[in-house]
Structure 1
Amino acid sequence: MSSKRVKHLSINTKLHSPLLLCSIPNNSGYLNMDAFHLSAFLLLLLSSLSSACNPNDKRALYQIKKSFNNSYHFASWTNQYDCCSGDAWYGVDCDPVTHRVNGLRIFNDPEIVGQIPSTIGDLYYLDLLLLHKLPNLTGPIPPAIGKLQNLRTLMLTDNSLSGPIPEFLGTMQNLTLIELSFNKFSGSIPAVLGNLNKITAIWLDRNQLTGSIPESFGRFQGSVPDLKLSHNMLSGEIPASLGNLDFSNIDFSRNQLEGDASMLFSAKKSTQEIDISRNLFEFDFSNVTFPTTLTNLDISHNKIQGNIPSEITELQNLQFFNVSYNRLCGEIPQGGKLQDFDSSSYFHNRCLCGAPLNVTCK
């Protein structure tokens, strides 16, 4: 190789950087490699790659794996791969900058047996925790979950979890979604959940919850969450304060709620879905007004009286409608979407008449 090329590189060949030593040519070929410095460099490089996963996070993950008896779900959780290397560790997500574990998803594994390990609370940077379709995951939500103050999404669904919904969830101010559906939770709904200012959805359906809907659910600050409380054993009246908020979706169906629910309706709101079916509600439907955004309405199986307001024919986005098994009377308004629904949406009322019912109005 010509001396001209070496001169063009303008590099001091006396430098002892292994990277430079291995890349600098001379007239007789390449400079002799400084083996010691090269080895040190490679060790440093390998060390930095292997430590991408924070050791505290890695330790917590291994403890979670051990707590669940090394189930097959965790087969990729080994020293062969770094826990923050792409999707190497199944169900583990990491922040690309800090390399801290920020997402944990464990799902669809009947071999996972036992309770939620408290070690999950040591993954301080989690913003998503999903435990889904683990039929043998039992016991309560451990207090250690309360240490996850960065958590935004909490989804513990389709498991066999039990015990009360813990009060400490109301202190986790970064939560935007709480979904505890399809479990065996019991007791009352903690009123402190109404203190969550960033919450966009609270789904507690299909549990064994009792007591009333907290009055604090009518005082959410900031965003107004979707409320899905169906298939429980809730009782009492809906707090009147709920009428002050503009909920997008409400599902209180299949409980033992009673009294007035008319405050959920208003032409000034932007509600899309209301399901209060299979309760004990009693109010006059005649004077209810409807948001133009309404797509789904189910008030069936209650004790609601009055007639169907004609304004409902103006709802152009209505896709589902059921007022059956109530005490409604009068002629079914003609027009709009109302005749798109069959008689099963209207039957078993006191004295409704007109199409699509085969009952002539007198």
Structure 2
Amino acid sequence: MDGQIPPWISTQFSLDSLTLSNNGLAGEIPSWLWTMAASFNELNISRNHLQGPLFPYGPNSHMLVLDVSNNALTGQLPSVWPIINGTFLWYPIILMLNDNLFTGNIPPSLCNSSVWLKLNLENNKFDGMIPWCLIKEGSPVQELNLGGHLPKSIGNLSSLEVLVMKANQFSGNILSEIGDLKQLQILDLSSNNLSGSIPHNIVFLQAMAVAREDGYVLQIEANYGVNGITVSSLGGLDMNSKGTELYYPYILSTLTRIDLSNNQLNGDVPLDFGKLKGLRFLNLSMNNLSGIIPPSLGDMSQLESLDLSSNNLSGNIPSEFQSLSYLGYLNLSSNNLSGSIPQGGQMITFENTSYSGNPSLQGCPLPKNCFWPKFAPPPPVSDGEDKDEEESGQMPWYEIGLGWSYGAGFLSVVVLLLLVGERWRKKYFKGIDNILEFMFPFLRNRRFLH
């Protein structure tokens, strides 16, 4: 649909859920919709072209889910939000305001809710500080996506599973307190202005240290008073996976990811990064990282995507990479790597773009010193008199003689049969006639085609 939100919806008095996402709707959100939404369970008008303010008359709803993300909404968020706690059956425990044009401060009144199982405010124009109540110990937030200044108290969110703060203007070092987030499965700080080295504490992210084969969809579960409510799964994330921007409607317990790309990070990659054996996606590209590629990365048995491109990494590609049997995407281009590319496992399946931009690197699939086994040229001719014929690249004479012997023996048997038996002679010449009858039209056709 395009145009404005259809006015006939205002006549539907029994609605408790309305989804108009992924359309071409434009204009302001009509006031009658906000009035109706006061009794809604869910309102989803995301991924449209809607404009104007949010709650122009102030929030008056206890919606369970409000998703207005990916629009062009403007203005400041209401300074007063309803007092919501577990005694209400309906309360806005999922609030998606990301990818709009909201300005001003993030209102502290958001803390009036006793639970925010999902709060997404990223990709807006907020300024000021993040309200303390959202990041303090015991915060009700289970999934938090933000823009603005990141305080050290982020490490207090012991139950945080997803932290996405990409495409903002964060500067300074990555906080070592992030290593305290024991339940964190997805860490995305890409496309900021972060500097300094990667903190060693990052290898203490326990949820990424366990290799899981079977996963389940992460669910939000809340139990308050006499009412137990299970809300739809955690999800709705845009992530760069295997070199492609993908949208994940669901998040599995096996989806583990670290993306620190497109920053100003320097120093070495932590040598024991391989402790994160359950990590599936690692992107450290477009930074100023130096030193070697840690061989311990070869211990990440479930790694599916690895991007270390556009850094200053040097040394060899670890031979341990040959054991990464799940690796489906690899980009080591534009570094200072040297030596030969390992030729085992998944390493031989990648194209030369995975390794280009490393002047001292050689071996297949790069053209420099690339000798695929079945196209390998013969070894060079030796000038030494004591080298045998096989080492000089010539065919050994005993092999030629052996071939002639087999041929002569077979011909002798055929001639003997033809001489001693009339029946064998007839079968032989009959076979020759059949072959000629088959071949003659073929040869004639070839002559006409030419």
Alignment TM-score > 0.5, same fold: yes
2:127 aligns with 162
CA distance in 1, matches of 2:162, 2:41: 30
1:178 aligns with 144
1:103 aligns with 65
Contact 1:293–1:317, Cα closer than 8 Å, also in 2: yes
> What is the percent sequence identity of the aligned residues?
31
- Secondary structure of the 1:321 match is strand
CA distance in 1, matches of 2:70, 2:204: 40
CA distance in 1, matches of 2:362, 2:125: 46
Query: Post-superposition shift, 1:316?
Result: 2.0
- Secondary structure of the 1:266 match is helix
1:271 aligns with 279
Alpha carbons of structure 1 residues 140 and 113: separation in structure 2 relative to 1, 3 Å: same
Q: 2:355 aligns with which of 332, 346, 350?
A: 346
TM-score (norm 2): 0.56
CA distance in 2, matches of 1:275, 1:152: 27
Amino acid across the alignment from 2:303: L
Alpha carbons of structure 1 residues 264 and 195: separation in structure 2 relative to 1, 3 Å: farther
1:245 pairs with 2:205:
yes
Contact 2:134–2:140, Cα closer than 8 Å, also in 1: no
Q: 1:76 aligns with which of 33, 36, 45?
A: 33
CA distance in 1, matches of 2:82, 2:40: 22
2:316 aligns with 307
Per mean C-alpha deviation after superposition, the further-off stretch among 240-249 and 208-217 is 240-249
2:301 aligns with 292
Query: Post-superposition shift, 1:312?
Result: 1.2
Amino acid across the alignment from 2:110: I
1:215 aligns with 176
1:227 aligns with 187
Query: Post-superposition shift, 1:302?
Result: 1.2
Amino acid across the alignment from 2:265: L
Alpha carbons of structure 1 residues 305 and 165: separation in structure 2 relative to 1, 3 Å: farther
Contact 1:297–1:321, Cα closer than 8 Å, also in 2: yes
CA distance in 1, matches of 2:166, 2:307: 17
1:142 aligns with 107
Structural RMSD (CA): 2.9
2:10 aligns with none
Please say which structure displays the higher CA radius of gyration: 2
Contact 1:173–1:197, Cα closer than 8 Å, also in 2: no
1:67 aligns with none
1:335 aligns with 344
Alpha carbons of structure 1 residues 268 and 254: separation in structure 2 relative to 1, 3 Å: closer
Contact 1:129–1:155, Cα closer than 8 Å, also in 2: yes
1:259 pairs with 2:225:
no
Amino acid across the alignment from 1:236: G
| Per-residue Cα deviation, 1:133-182 (whole angstroms, up to 9, x for no partner) | 323x21221222233331110112343333444443212523221123xx
Query: Post-superposition shift, 1:120?
Result: 3.0
Paired residues in the alignment total 279
2:99 aligns with 133
